[in-house]
A and B are shown apart, each in its own frame.
Chain A
């Protein structure tokens, strides 16, 4: 992964401190070189590898060592979405170095790695490429310039004569490694305004590059959190309350103690943990624990299939019918418009709780020694993880070191740090270095679920058959109160006693829910289409099951709701689904364009095989615009999804292959949810436990997928999530075309 050192060219130089360089080499340290990054504070609690500890490190993203190793410390978490390759491509482009030759390191914690939008070190919101596009280009362009300046000064040449080509300084037909000039460059002021390349100069951006993590992931050598191992590391398993939020009243571990390999049994905040020589031994001992639980009051009463007005779907329906809603968006005068409407159409939709079911179960390794906690974890929010771990391990946050790994899937699940908190608590209570691993059952039954949601649309049309008013009300839990509950523990100053922090986090839930609406609750329900009058309301209906960000967050249900509604209106008006949408996208040209492109690519309603039907859906999310057309057949009430055409406008596609893969990924993930996904509860207990009752789409059900990426010069936007929201509606609308049956609930179930 490193460029070879060119030493065959002897050029006279000035100002190289060879003594220091040799000293460092002899010490087997790579101390010389250039360490640059975005300008931030020096509050580093992690010393970068590959740097001598005496070297001042104000910045932490990029290193060019005098040994000509270019290290890029990946500030975001790679969970499949491709930023390991994408961000490195951006760096390589302006550095003029093949990204394949850049050594990418999953970064630990550092101020420089903060997500500029969230102001925390968090990966999410499909914003990694979007927010890093310019800063990383400037960083790399400035680094390339300072290397050129160093070369010019050392070789007594004009800067204009110093050109670069793939990591080499080119002089008179000869090539010298960047690393040759790294030491000297480090003595120069770091430039701030090196010009950026024009699009037509790009060598790597916009090209089909191989993924940089491809070899490691094809050979089983990519390290995930679950693969972390060292001498003396014990395996830990945790028995939690069958109803989330419950705590241990009392327990008896006499039968578990004698199980093979068991070393320690400890009670923590949410359960009883067994620590053993190996994880499988700890897991085997769990059933031997006898635990009495304090059950959570609210959630224990909830059953998904209850028909009562205050339970099951009735809880949501009652909320919708109530007058308690909070208005989130208002434009025009919808009530008056309704009075004068020519036609009014109303419909209700439902989307259930969903689990993330990442392939890699949650896990975290924790080693506590000398009031210092080391964590090894693949997570989306290492900064919150650190703070929560500090709270649960009773260690100052500055004494925590996080080693980041690849993530075996994220989808939002790993933005939560509950499993890190558990690992920290077990390490503290057992005084052993432990790797906590969750079973699949733990994973499906202790998630931060996609909130179940019910929505009611009331849409009025004018005489011309165009939408006059668009009113929508959504009932369901909100994410933010749960996030506050989790986050407050992690962000409060450590001088506050834990009991006060606990009180604040619980109070935060109630305060938030009674005063504020989290925008993710309603996002995507009302924005996309033209209407003179619009109104969107939210009302909280919350059985008490923890909820969190699930790939595309609110859009994961609003895409289905809104696009099904639009299809219903078009059908009732006997209008073509594509034409009717286009009539209402005059103010949304990018969404209109992807719709036209997808319709053309899919040969919308032209010459389909016998028995095949199409359905369309469009949705804007994470600053990107996506249209999808699903082609299905229904035979004896069996649904087959044959083909999906997808068009996306995500601005400039950094790696078109990854954009295409993310569209396929969003569609397949969205199909799992559309066809199967449903978490249900019985008296508060999650009923699903593994992939047999919470299935994921398998290869033989996976449709042919054609992706069109709109050619664009605009700055890049999100791709990890926007491919998901339209697919459920595209399939449901195709089912309507095939059968005349309108399915308003997810998952889509054809009556047998």
Chain B
């Protein structure tokens, strides 16, 4: 059995220790916000915060997760309680197809946690692990800068969810 903290909640799973975290979260724990894109840690669609760092979870075995803090997009904000970054994202209409966006938001959240006022180069560096085939990069930059500004004015939070109840999920189709 492997025990870790998922979105503020202690979680225990019994799976083969080489199972990738992404599949445990998506298929066993039914949180679908994190996506499968490449299976090789190349595209970033599966990004989650592991102890605050944006991490590719499609290649991260559960054995490496024991005792660690995992935050998925669901643990950052919800439709009713958007984080400041998510609000900026919505205002800038960043998403196109939307598939990579959870991963983008996770990486941007990790960036703003460490750097409250990132430069263009710092944004490039922090976000270059996340591919967007729709090319939302110009709006991603815009939203990150807006969120940095809003957070700097003390009018927001990077993470709205302290404890995420998986039963609260409603998918919009």
Q: Which residues of A contact B (CB under 8 A)?
A: 78-82, 105-106, 210-211, 213-224, 226-227, 229, 235, 260, 278-280, 357-361, 403-411, 437, 439-441, 657-658, 661, 664-669, 672, 690-692, 696-700, 702, 704-705
Q: Which residues of B contact A223 (CB under 8 A)?
A: 32, 171-173
Query: CB of B98 within 8 A of chain A?
Result: yes
Contact B39 A221 (CB under 8 A): no
Q: Which residues of B contact A691 (CB under 8 A)?
A: 38, 40, 42-43, 131
Contact B99 A409 (CB under 8 A): yes
4 further A-B contacts with Cβ under 8 Å, apart from A215-B90, A222-B98, A661-B136, are A216-B98, A219-B79, A229-B27, A408-B97
Q: Which residues of A contact B77 (CB under 8 A)?
A: 218-219
Select B138's contact among A106, A278, A664, beta carbons within 8 Å.
A664
Contact B105 A221 (CB under 8 A): no
> For the complex, what is the distance from the CA of A699 to the CA of B100, rounded to whole Å?
13
Select A219's contact among B23, B37, B78, beta carbons within 8 Å.
B78
Contact A408 B98 (CB under 8 A): yes
Query: CB of B91 within 8 A of chain A?
Result: yes
Given A222-B172, A405-B173, the answer on whether A211 and B73 have CB atoms closer than 8 Å is no
> For the complex, what is the distance from the CA of A409 to the CA of B99, rounded to whole Å?
7
> For the complex, what is the distance from the CA of A357 to the CA of B99, rounded to whole Å?
13
> For the complex, what is the distance from the CA of A404 to the CA of B172, rounded to whole Å?
11
Given A226-B35, A405-B173, A658-B93, the answer on whether A665 and B131 have CB atoms closer than 8 Å is no
Chain B 103-126, CB-CB to A under 8 Å as 1, else 0, gives: 001000000000000000001110
Contact B33 A221 (CB under 8 A): yes
Contact A220 B74 (CB under 8 A): yes
Select B99's contact among A105, A224, A404, A411, beta carbons within 8 Å.
A224
Query: CB of B148 within 8 A of chain A?
Result: no
Shortest distance from the beta carbon of A42 to any chain B beta carbon, whole Å: 25
For residue A278, which residue of chain B has the nearest CB? B27
> For the complex, what is the distance from the CA of A260 to the CA of B33, rounded to whole Å?
26
Q: Which residues of A contact B91 (CB under 8 A)?
A: 210
Contact A220 B97 (CB under 8 A): no
Q: Which residues of A contact B169 (CB under 8 A)?
A: 221
Interface residues on B, range: 35 or more
For residue B76, which residue of chain A has the nearest CB? A219
For residue B22, which residue of chain A has the nearest CB? A280
Interface contact tally, CB-CB below 8 A: 203
Select A217's contact among B19, B37, B98, B124, beta carbons within 8 Å.
B98
Contact A360 B99 (CB under 8 A): yes
Select A221's contact among B43, B124, B171, beta carbons within 8 Å.
B171
> For the complex, what is the distance from the CA of A359 to the CA of B95, rounded to whole Å?
13
Q: Which residues of B contact A235 (CB under 8 A)?
A: 27
Given A218-B94, A359-B132, A406-B97, the answer on whether A279 and B138 have CB atoms closer than 8 Å is no
| 17 A/B residue pairs, CB under 8 Å, sorted by A | A214-B94, A219-B33, A219-B78, A219-B82, A280-B20, A405-B173, A408-B35, A440-B40, A661-B139, A664-B137, A668-B135, A669-B134, A691-B38, A699-B123, A699-B124, A699-B130, A699-B132
Contact A360 B97 (CB under 8 A): yes
Contact B30 A80 (CB under 8 A): no
> For the complex, what is the distance from the CA of A279 to the CA of B31, rounded to whole Å?
15
Given A229-B32, A690-B42, the answer on whether A219 and B131 have CB atoms closer than 8 Å is no
Query: CB of B64 within 8 A of chain A?
Result: no
> For the complex, what is the distance from the CA of A726 to the CA of B93, rounded to whole Å?
25
Shortest distance from the beta carbon of A187 to any chain B beta carbon, whole Å: 32
For residue A360, which residue of chain B has the nearest CB? B99
Contact B133 A358 (CB under 8 A): yes
Chain B 13-35, CB-CB to A under 8 Å as 1, else 0, gives: 00010011001000110111111
Q: Which residues of B contact A217 (CB under 8 A)?
A: 95, 98, 101
Q: Which residues of B contact A80 (CB under 8 A)?
A: 95-98, 134
Ranked nearest first, the 4 interchain pairs of A and B with the lowest CB-CB distance are A220-B33, A668-B135, A408-B99, A217-B98
Contact A279 B27 (CB under 8 A): yes
Shortest distance from the beta carbon of B99 to any chain A beta carbon, whole Å: 3
For residue B96, which residue of chain A has the nearest CB? A80
> For the complex, what is the distance from the CA of A278 to the CA of B30, rounded to whole Å?
12
For residue A356, which residue of chain B has the nearest CB? B133
Shortest distance from the beta carbon of B5 to any chain A beta carbon, whole Å: 18
> For the complex, what is the distance from the CA of A439 to the CA of B141, rounded to whole Å?
30
Contact A214 B134 (CB under 8 A): no
Shortest distance from the beta carbon of B150 to any chain A beta carbon, whole Å: 15
Given A437-B36, A665-B135, A691-B38, the answer on whether A221 and B79 have CB atoms closer than 8 Å is yes
Query: CB of B86 within 8 A of chain A?
Result: yes
Shortest distance from the beta carbon of B46 to any chain A beta carbon, whole Å: 11
Shortest distance from the beta carbon of A126 to any chain B beta carbon, whole Å: 14
Query: CB of B54 within 8 A of chain A?
Result: no
> For the complex, what is the distance from the CA of A214 to the CA of B94, rounded to whole Å?
7
Select B40's contact among A81, A82, A227, A690, beta carbons within 8 Å.
A690
Contact A260 B170 (CB under 8 A): no
Highest count of chain A CB atoms <10 Å: which of B19, B37, B73: B37
Q: Which residues of A contact B170 (CB under 8 A)?
A: 221
> For the complex, what is the distance from the CA of A406 to the CA of B98, rounded to whole Å?
9
> For the complex, what is the distance from the CA of A81 to the CA of B101, rounded to whole Å?
15
Query: CB of B66 within 8 A of chain A?
Result: no
